[in-house]
């Protein structure tokens, strides 16, 4: 778990940080209007109370359906409730694919959770770990 309190989650709403991640409107079954992501696309930057900044990347090729806007007003949800209210984003992969591109080796039944998030706050770079739920 994160050892330091999360004080801000930046989804790119400021100038010079790319497209705002929370302004896209996604509609319909095909999720039209979503932002297309590559493995290295930045989803957000997490700012910890101890001064560390963590860049969270998509990790897979897909479409950004939504970001958790609760994190703007209550960023520490990432640390206190990471598996429910503290989720970062919802990403879908391409229609008709049997396996997603990128770091995931199996198609999850429902959700992919980023595990080992404590290593991100400590600054260690690890391979993506997933858990099927």
For residue 23, count other CB atoms closer than 10 A to its CB.
11
* Whole-number pLDDT of residue 132: 37
Query: What is the residue extent of each domain of the chain?
Result: 6-121
Whether 80 shows a pLDDT value over 60: the answer reads: yes
* CATH domain 6-121 topology: OB fold (Dihydrolipoamide Acetyltransferase, E2P) (2.40.50)
Does the pTM surpass 0.85? The reply is no
Structure-token match 């010079």, residue found: 16
How many Cβ atoms from other residues are within 10 Å of residue 117's Cβ?
20
The three-state secondary structure class of 44 is strand
Up-side HSE of residue 52: CA atoms within 13 Å toward CB?
17
Write out pLDDT tens, residues 11-53.
876 555 455 555 556 666 555 667 888 888 889 999 999 999 9
């Amino acid at each position: 778990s994160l050892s330091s309190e999360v004080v801000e989650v930046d989804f790119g709403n400021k100038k010079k940080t790319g497209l705002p991640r929370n302004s896209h409107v996604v509609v319909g079954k095909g999720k039209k209007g979503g932002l297309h992501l590559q493995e290295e696309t930045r989803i957000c930057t997490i700012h910890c109370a101890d001064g560390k900044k963590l860049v969270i990347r998509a990790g897979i090729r897909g479409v950004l359906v939504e970001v958790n806007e609760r994190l703007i007003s209550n960023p520490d949800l990432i640390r206190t409730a990471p598996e429910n209210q503290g989720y970062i984003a919802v990403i879908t992969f391409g229609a008709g694919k049997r396996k997603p591109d990128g770091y995931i080796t199996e198609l999850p039944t429902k959700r992919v959770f980023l595990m080992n998030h404590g290593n991100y706050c400590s600054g260690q770079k690890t391979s993506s770990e997933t858990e099927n739920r």
